[in-house]
Amino acid sequence: MSISLLIVGHANTGKTSLIRTMLRDHNFGEVQNYSGTTRHVEQISLTLNDAPLLDLIDTPGFEDSIGLWQTRVQDYADTSNERWLEAVQSDSALQDDFEQELKILKQLSRCDIILYVIDLRQAPLGKYLDELNILACANKPIVPILNFCNAEQSHESEWRRCLAERQLHAHVRYDTVAFFLADERKLYQTLQSLAPDEYDTLQALINQREQDAAKRLTQAKQALSHALIDCTTSQFVCASTTPSASEKQAFEQHIRQREQAFVSYCLRLYDFRHEDVVLRDLPLQEGQWQQDIFDPDTLKSWGINTSTSAATGAAIGAGIDILSAGLTLGTATTLGAILGAGVQTGRSFKTTLMNKLRKRSVLALNPDSSIALLYRGIQLIAHLHQRGHASQQAYQGQSDTLPDKQEVARLEKLFARISQRPEWHQANELPDHELVTALQQAIDEALPTSR
Ligand SMILES: Nc1nc2c(ncn2[C@@H]2O[C@H](COP(=O)(O)OP(=O)(O)OP(=O)(O)O)[C@@H](O)[C@H]2O)c(=O)[nH]1
Ligand SMILES: [Mg+2]
Vertex 433: Cα angle to 430 and 434 (nearest 5)? 125
123 in the same domain as 89:
yes
Domain of residue 21: give its range: 3-194
The reply to whether ligand 1 has any atom less than 6 angstroms from the CB of 393 is no
CA dist 145 and 147 (Å) reads 6
Domain boundary among 136, 159, 194: 194
425 in the same domain as 317:
yes
CA dist 295 and 214 (Å) reads 38
Written as one letter, the residue type at 307 is: S
- Residue 209 maps to a domain: no
430 in the same domain as 386:
yes
90 in the same domain as 155:
yes
429 in the same domain as 335:
yes
Query: Phi/psi zone of residue 442: left (φ > 0), alpha (ψ -120 to 50 degrees), beta?
Result: alpha
- Residue 200 maps to a domain: no
378 in the same domain as 257:
yes
Closest residue CA from atom 8 of ligand 1: 14
Helix (H) or strand (E) holding 364: strand 362-365
The reply to whether ligand 1 has any atom less than 6 angstroms from the CB of 387 is no
The answer to whether residues 253 and 365 touch, using CB atoms and an 8 Å cutoff, is no
The reply to whether ligand 1 has any atom less than 6 angstroms from the CB of 59 is no
Ligand 2 is an ion; its neighbours by CB within 5 Å are 15-16, 37-38
The answer to whether residues 31 and 20 touch, using CB atoms and an 8 Å cutoff, is yes
Q: Tell how many helices (H) and how many strands (E) occur in the chain.
A: 16, 9
The reply to whether ligand 1 has any atom less than 6 angstroms from the CB of 36 is yes
The reply to whether ligand 1 has any atom less than 6 angstroms from the CB of 154 is no
- Residue 112 maps to a domain: yes
Q: Ligand 2 centre and the CA of 30: distance in Å?
A: 6
221 in the same domain as 183:
no
Q: Determine the distance from the C-alpha atom of residue 44 to the mean position of all C-alpha atoms in its chain, rounded to a whole number.
A: 24
Vertex 267: Cα angle to 266 and 273 (nearest 5)? 175
**pLDDT tens, per residue, the chain with 451 residues:** 789 999 999 999 999 999 999 999 999 999 988 888 999 999 999 999 999 999 999 999 999 999 999 999 888 888 899 999 999 988 888 888 899 999 999 999 999 999 999 999 999 999 999 999 999 999 999 999 999 998 889 999 999 999 999 999 888 998 888 888 999 999 999 999 999 999 999 999 999 999 999 999 999 999 999 999 999 999 888 888 888 999 988 999 999 999 999 999 999 999 999 999 998 887 777 776 665 555 556 556 555 554 544 444 444 444 444 444 444 434 444 545 555 555 555 566 656 656 655 667 888 898 989 999 999 999 999 999 999 998 989 999 876 666 788 999 999 999 999 998 888 999 999 999 999 999 999 999 988 764 4
Written as one letter, the residue type at 336 is: G
Q: Which of the listed residues 10, 25, 31 should we mutate to test ligand 1's pocket, taking the one with most ligand atoms within 8 A of CB?
A: 31
Looking at 75-125, list the stretches that DSSP marks H as alpha helix, in order from N- to C-terminal side: 81-89, 99-108
- Residue 71 maps to a domain: yes
Closest residue CA from atom 26 of ligand 1: 33
Question: Nearest Cα to 344, choosing from 420, 430, 423?
Answer: 423
pLDDT in tens, 77-110: 888 999 999 999 888 888 888 999 999 999 999 9
Q: Ligand 2 centre and the CA of 172: distance in Å?
A: 19
Helix (H/G/I), strand (E/B), else coil: 317 = helix
DSSP label at residue 384: H
- Residue 204 maps to a domain: no
pTM for this prediction: 0.84
DSSP label at residue 393: S
**CATH of residue 165:** 3.40.50.300
Q: Which of the listed residues 12, 41, 150, 156 should we mutate to test ligand 1's pocket, taking the one with most ligand atoms within 8 A of CB?
A: 12
DSSP label at residue 92: G
